Structure 1
Amino acid sequence: MMKPVRSILAILALGGLVAACQGQMPKTESKRDMLADSGFKVVSLKTPGQAASFKKLPPHKLVRKTWQGKPVWVYADPTMCGCLYMGTQDNYNAYIKEASKQMMATAMRANFADDPYSPSSMDATVDNDWDWGEWGNPGYYGLPY
């Protein structure tokens, strides 16, 4: 008997959390911006050897390399800046955390976009011309007006 009640409460709590988060528009950043914000350093190609090594990396993918026994993450961007982003494991972890938040926010918006009962799909435009008529004063209903 307690399991259905717990399930209902869990669903209501999750719904409330989703509704609370819908009012906040997450900032959308490019992968390059998120890499830089996570502490990755932008490295320009200065020598023919660097350019040759750069061309061997898969474009637009984070790749784990090892330097002096420690992981180093690199991201080759041949199209926008023709540069390499380089970061530590901590930088990578920070990037993954931010990227995960953005993916979740995008998935939540997509999930509720067509749901007529979702608070995010309701029209939030201001309509000052509405005739209150029979509704009277919104303060009567406990609204702070």
Structure 2
Amino acid sequence: MPEVAITTDVMVGFPGESDEEFAESYRFCQEIGFADMHVFVYSPRPGTPAAKMQGQVDSRVKKERSLKMLELARRSAQQFAGRFVGCEMAVLWENEVTPGSGVYSGLTDNYIRIFARSQKPLANQIMPARLVKMHKDGLWGESIA
């Protein structure tokens, strides 16, 4: 299934997370090459067992780990999306990015964000696009309708 998008959620800074454990999580995510990663920082909630655990991770360390993992997530998503440059894929066009701009945004079935210019309204339609180049938030496409 070469087009499948495998995604994950990653929590950093859970009480007791050592430098070695974080490095292991980072290496694992790097090796898998997730299509998308939701990275979030553990924050204690009063009354929960984790809030009382020993080994609370310093907030500066949590921020540093989060930034490192977010950068990996960005690179992994770009690498995944980049595999589809030159392909034609169906896109569910969601909306015009800015009303009147003629630039539409939508998603492929494997959750790659696609942007394309069109003179015709594309919103709320599934239509093919040729994926032509990288965009900071996904790929630029050309509507083939």
Shorter chain as normaliser: what TM range?
under 0.3
Return the TM-score normalized by structure 2.
Answer: 0.26
Structure of higher CA gyration radius: 1
Higher helix share: 1
